[in-house]
């Protein structure tokens, strides 16, 4: 019997962008206008190759306006430990099937999938978003064997997907890549902590012991 393929062969390069695991897809038809792209960038947070977030225009501070830059710092200061302890945990208590398991927190975009607003010839599926009464299509490439990856890890971990993108985009994507429902909980942009450099995922707020929590994310700090 031949040996089973290794993690790299089975699941792709876990530290690479999902789009790198597929050959360069050809685009079909005309792309979205600049205005449409700006609207979509507010819904889906994507990452640069170095892992830094591409912030939507609403979060970008004009560098020449020092007053706006100063004022924007007040609501995004990191939470102090005392205040953090008083917050309700982001995750619900462990269910019976996950008792005793450590927690695995997975990023969505550029970790499990790569999404594009432009048509992709090799897209695994597409979803439709309604933004301000207008329909948009998002084309999604899935990391090779992502479903098998989730299924096998769910036997060992409590699997959580934590994304900085909005729920109305994330839910239909997760539904597609997790048809068996092995992802126990989902967290979205509203669960992130907004900092000057983007959205941070504060693991101390999960309600799990940090020594039993693992995160896989392209933008970890």
DSSP line for 85-116: HTSPPSSPPPPGGGTT--EEEE--BTTTEEEE
Is position 124 annotated as part of the catalytic site? Answer: no
DSSP 117: S
Question: What stretch of H or E contains 11?
Answer: helix 7-11
Residue 195 lies in a domain: yes
Residue 169 lies in a domain: yes
The pLDDT, as a whole number, for residue 194 is 87
Which CATH number goes with the domain that contains 173?
A: 3.40.50.1000
Residue 83 lies in a domain: yes
The pLDDT, as a whole number, for residue 198 is 82
Instruction: Calculate what percentage of the chain has a pLDDT beyond 70.
Output: 61
Which one from 21, 36, 50, 109 is the annotated catalytic residue? 109
* Mean pLDDT calculated for residue range 186-211: 92
| 105: pLDDT strictly greater than 50 | yes
The pLDDT, as a whole number, for residue 117 is 87
pLDDT in tens, 123-145: 999 999 988 888 989 999 999 99
**What is the domain range of residue 106?**
31-114+142-216
Is position 107 annotated as part of the catalytic site? Answer: yes
* Dmax (CA) of the chain: 68
Which of 41-50, 84-93, 136-145, 211-220 is modeled with the greatest confidence? 136-145
pTM over 0.85: no
Residue 5 lies in a domain: no
| 187: pLDDT strictly greater than 80 | yes
The pLDDT, as a whole number, for residue 119 is 92
Which of 1-5, 27-31, 153-157, 195-199 is modeled with the greatest confidence? 153-157
Instruction: Calculate what percentage of the chain has a pLDDT beyond 90.
Output: 50
The pLDDT, as a whole number, for residue 40 is 64
Which one from 36, 107, 124, 178 is the annotated catalytic residue? 107
* Mean pLDDT calculated for residue range 10-33: 43
Q: Which residues contact 23 (CB under 8 A, 6 or more apart)?
A: 122
The pLDDT, as a whole number, for residue 217 is 92
Residue 95 lies in a domain: yes
Distances (CA, A) of 70 to 58, 76, 77, 199: 16, 11, 12, 18
HSE-CB of 6 using CA atoms within 13 angstroms: 3
Residue 3 lies in a domain: no
Distances (CA, A) of 35 to 29, 38, 40, 116, 129: 18, 5, 9, 15, 15
Mean pLDDT of the chain, nearest integer? 76
Q: Which residue has the higher pLDDT, 69 or 164?
A: 164
Across the strands, what pairs with 114?
141
Question: What is the count of structural domains for the chain?
Answer: 1
* Mean pLDDT calculated for residue range 189-200: 88
Is 136 within 8 Å of 40 (Cβ atoms)? yes
Q: Which residue has the higher pLDDT, 203 or 38?
A: 203
Residue 134 lies in a domain: no
Residue 105 lies in a domain: yes
């Amino acid at each position: 019997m031949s040996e089973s393929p290794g993690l790299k062969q089975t699941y792709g390069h876990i530290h690479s962008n999902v789009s790198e695991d597929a050959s360069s897809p050809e685009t079909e038809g005309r792309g979205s206008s600049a205005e449409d792209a700006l609207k979509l960038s507010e819904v889906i947070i994507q990452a640069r190759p170095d892992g830094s977030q591409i912030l939507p225009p609403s979060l970008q501070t004009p560098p020449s306006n020092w007053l706006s830059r100063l004022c924007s710092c007040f609501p995004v200061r990191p939470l102090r430990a005392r205040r953090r302890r008083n917050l309700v945990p982001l995750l619900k208590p462990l269910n019976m099937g996950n008792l005793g398991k450590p927690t695995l927190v997975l990023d969505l975009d550029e970790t499990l999938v790569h999404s594009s607003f432009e048509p992709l010839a090799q897209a695994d599926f597409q979803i439709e978003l309604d933004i301000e009464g207008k329909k948009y299509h998002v084309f999604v490439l899935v990391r090779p064997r992502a479903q098998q990856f989730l299924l096998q890890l769910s036997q060992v971990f409590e699997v959580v997907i934590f994304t900085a993108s909005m729920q109305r985009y994330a839910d239909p994507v997760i539904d597609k890549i997790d048809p068996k429902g092995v992802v126990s909980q989902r967290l979205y942009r509203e669960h992130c902590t907004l900092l000057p450099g983007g959205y941070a995922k504060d693991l101390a707020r999960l309600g799990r012991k940090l020594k039993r929590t693992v995160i896989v994310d392209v933008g970890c700090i």
